[in-house]
């Protein structure tokens, strides 16, 4: 990290290799459009490089002082992602598609998610594709901030303290919002199951 801070290109490449996947997966679980995901991922690292001088690396003597580097990256990525979702939300309010009647089982996000086809078994692939689509649609129904917290907690397995530090909110807020997000997700998934039963 210090070498990257000193401007070493190779060291920066190592940072990308070390943390790139985690950042990419965070953004990917928030936004379905792969092009936008990749753009935001690139922008995260470009901003990180430009602002490396502002990051104070956590040293063993500092204890809890300052975020870890990956948390700092998550903060940049989450800010960019939430900004993008807010911008799209505003645009959607005035878009023609928002006037179209939405089918009851249609998610908030109208892009089709194309999960990577790396499943070995065809039957398993079909089953998981359906489940994946269901979960993603349920996640999409959550408010972006709640979704972000839930993804950080469930997918990235981050503790409340770290989520609070990344999103700059009190721990109590993280705890209550994650609880509410889980409840909303449960309801959304239940709705989908009932539609499937009716269908």
Partner 1 sequence: MTCRHCQPLLSPYLDRALSSEEHQKVLSHLTQCLTCTKQLQQLEENRQLIRMLPAVEIPQELEARLLSKVQSRQSTIRHPPSAIHRWWHEWPMLSFGTVATCAASLLFYFAMMQAPSKVSAEEVVSSMDQLIGTLDPDEGERAIAEETPDEAIPEWSNEIESDLFENENEQD
Residue 135 binds to partner 1 (criterion: CB under 8 A) = yes
Q: Which is nearer to partner 1, 7 or 170 (CB)?
A: 7
CA distances (Å), origin 164, targets 39, 51, 102, 126: 25, 21, 35, 37
Residue 112 binds to partner 1 (criterion: CB under 8 A) = no
Residue 13 binds to partner 1 (criterion: CB under 8 A) = yes
Stretch that binds partner 1, among 22-30, 74-82, 94-102, 103-111 (CB under 8 A): 22-30
32, 80 contact by CB (below 8 A)? no
Stretch that binds partner 1, among 69-77, 78-86, 88-96, 113-121 (CB under 8 A): 113-121
Residue in 150, 153, 157, 145 with CA at minimum distance from that of residue 135 = 150
Question: What single DSSP character describes residue 103?
Answer: P
Phi-psi region of 119 (alpha: psi -120 to 50; beta: other; left: phi over 0): beta
140-199 residues near partner 1, rule: CB under 8 A:
150-151, 153-155, 159-160, 175, 178-179, 182-183, 185-186, 189
């Amino acid at each position: 990290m210090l070498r990257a801070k000193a401007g070493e290109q190779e060291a920066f490449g190592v940072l990308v290799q070390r943390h790139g996947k985690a950042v990419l997966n965070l953004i990917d679980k928030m936004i379905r459009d792969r092009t936008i995901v990749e753009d935001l991922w690139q922008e995260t690292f470009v901003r990180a490089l430009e602002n490396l001088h502002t990051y104070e690396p956590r040293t063993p003597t500092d204890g809890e002082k300052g975020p870890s580097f990956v948390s700092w990256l998550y903060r940049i990525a989450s800010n960019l992602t939430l900004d993008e979702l807010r911008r799209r939300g505003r645009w959607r309010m005035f878009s023609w598609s928002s006037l179209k009647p939405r089918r009851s089982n249609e998610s908030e996000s109208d892009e089709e998610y194309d999960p990577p086809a790396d499943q070995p078994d065809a039957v398993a692939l079909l089953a998981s594709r359906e489940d994946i689509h269901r979960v993603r649609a349920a996640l999409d129904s959550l408010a972006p901030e709640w979704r972000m917290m839930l993804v950080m907690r469930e997918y990235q397995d981050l503790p409340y303290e770290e989520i609070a530090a990344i999103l700059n909110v009190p721990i109590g807020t993280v705890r209550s919002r994650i609880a509410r997000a889980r409840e909303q997700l449960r309801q959304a998934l239940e709705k989908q199951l009932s539609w499937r039963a009716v269908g």
